Structure 1
Amino acid sequence: MNEFDTLFQPARSLVEQGRLLDTRHTSPAQPDIWQYLVDIRQAKHHAWHADETLVEVWTDLREKHAAMLPDLVGAYEHWSTHDYDVLEDYLTSKGHPELIADVEADLFHGCVNHHFKVGDALWETIMAAYAAGYWPCGWGKAAFPQGNLLVWRPTPT
């Protein structure tokens, strides 16, 4: 066991328990600040493209909040070498290998936020969405922290 094992445990647990991108175990009552998308194409568009309907570009918002987290020398390399393959296999088995870069970055930053008790509301909201089986893919209606987290709900398999 090394110093990073406990850091990444929340992400590992989502994969090990089969909860990542799996809404079968999710209660229908979710936070009111979530806006649910059922079309994966729409979700990808919001996640990866500037959109006049959104106040902030999702990738820009995530990068801005990632910059506020502690810089962990060696942590990302450890994550990449030990967890990337497992995560890639898992997402491929769910039919969504194209989401690997986003999911990996989100889980990494969410774990750092949690482990060091930073309390960044964006990462806490993102991790809550993943824990519920959704893919967080945008922020809409108003600038963060007002507005809504856009989440894609995978069809249970």
Structure 2
Amino acid sequence: MKTQKITLNIIGKIALLSLLFFFVGMTTTFAQKRGKRDNDATPTEKAEKRSQKWKTEFGLNDTQTAQLKTALITRITATDAIKNEGKSPEKREQRKAIMTEFDTQVKSIFTDAQYAAYEKKKAEKKDKMKENRGKRGQGTDMDDDGF
């Protein structure tokens, strides 16, 4: 009788440890897949993905999409370089200047209707970020408008 209790106790501990390892393994597996996102992609890959998304979202033709992709590559490369240098008020001003230049390029590529839709979407994202900033205590950088 006593050996039977000991055996059941050991089996219960083994089952509990097995479940624990299973859940830990699943958690780390999903965390790795989830965290990957665009961080590992090259600026060209990021620009290709975003330009294709915007092509359908804003109704761009092939010429506009190619021009947008070039502008996105320039912007992504410049902002990535600044992000790697750390955070400071000067860097923030540099990112704003890059975004202003990018918006100028987008305005020259898009038609008036497309640019109006772009501005509307950008304003919606800005409002959403302000809303989320209060929930988290801090927001994300405004230089990535990958909506």
Structure with the largest fraction of helix: 2
TM-score, normalization by structure 1:
0.31
User: Relative contact order (alpha carbons < 8 A, sep ≥ 6): 1 or 2 greater?
Assistant: 1
- Report the structure number with the largest CA radius of gyration: 2
Structure with the largest fraction of strand: 1
